[in-house]
Amino acid sequence: MKTFFRFILCIIALIIYCEYVIYYLVLIQCNWPSYNNTKSEQPVKVMFVADTHLLGKRKGHWLDKMRREWEMSRAFQTAIKIHKPELIFILGDLFDEGLWSSEADFNSYVKTFKYLFSVPQGIELYAVVGNHDIGFHYSIIPQLEKRFNNAFNSSSVQLISKRNVHFVLINSMAMEMDGCFLCYTAKLKLKQISNQLKCIEKGIACSKNMMLDGSYSKPILLQHFPLYRKNDIACNELDSAPIKEKETPFREGWDCLRKDATEMLLKIIKPRVVFGGHTH
């Protein structure tokens, strides 16, 4: 009988370790970069998450869906508990079947996402749209974009500023440069943000609605697609793809932004760094 109880206790301890403790042991090893304490302003602590691909009803098995959601939630909640970021950006493809979802299914998707990736007061979370959320460029209809924007209070192009750090969030599928309803609106917003940044950079006397609080710094560009590149051969991180896969040519507008869209963004926004998702 004692052996049986020891076995049960070992099983319980193993479950607690694998489902709770392991996340703390791994994530506590990560640290924020060191910074110069003499600076008057504290650095902005930011977390990036991409391609959560919450499973839907069409392709997701309930057991696989439950397991994935549990693991993502535990990893996310443990990370924010330990490291306490101020801003969190989700860089697209929140959902796996967002573009095919009915209104009821999409609302259920949003409810699940906000439950799994809930944040405490004091942390701001922003979402960038991905192709699995509303579709690739030529399959997008206004209703799909509108319901995502309404659910996450986002837009095709958005400027977020925190202690003089400026983040420009863009809808990658609105960068096809063909003058459609998405691309036209996005380009206008990009030019407006560019003018706002110029106002504080050069100290120009601008209208009140064009002025930003704080001082200028080169913006950080956030999107779902990576900028244009021929392939992933230059990526040599520990978790990078096998050589054969990295040599596969990228398709503009599918695997990365179009070349002309990339050049436009670099010219208009002049970012210091760009973060994206999509390639995984």
| Bridging pattern class, strands 46-49 and 87-91 | parallel
| Candidates 3.90.650.10, 3.30.450.20, 3.30.420.40, 3.60.21.40; CATH matching 43-154 | 3.60.21.40
Domain assignments of the chain as residue spans, ordered by start? 43-154, 156-280
The mean pLDDT value of the chain amounts to 91
Rounded Cα distance, 197 and 229, in Å? 27
Rounded Cα distance, 136 and 5, in Å? 55
| Bridging pattern class, strands 157-162 and 165-170 | antiparallel
List, for residues 211-251, the tens digit of each pLDDT value.
777 788 999 999 999 999 998 888 888 778 888 888 889 99
Compute φ and ψ for 253, nearest 5 degrees.
85, -5
What's the pLDDT at 58? 84
Count of CB atoms situated within 10 Å of the CB of 93:
22
pLDDT at residue 40 greater than cutoff 70: no
Question: What Rg do the C-alpha atoms of the chain give, in angstroms?
Answer: 21
List, for residues 173-223, the tens digit of each pLDDT value.
999 999 898 999 999 999 999 999 988 887 776 776 667 777 889 999 999
Torsion of CA 13, 18, 21, 26, to 10 degrees: 150
What's the pLDDT at 42? 85
| C-beta of residue 158 within 8 angstroms of C-beta of residue 168 | yes
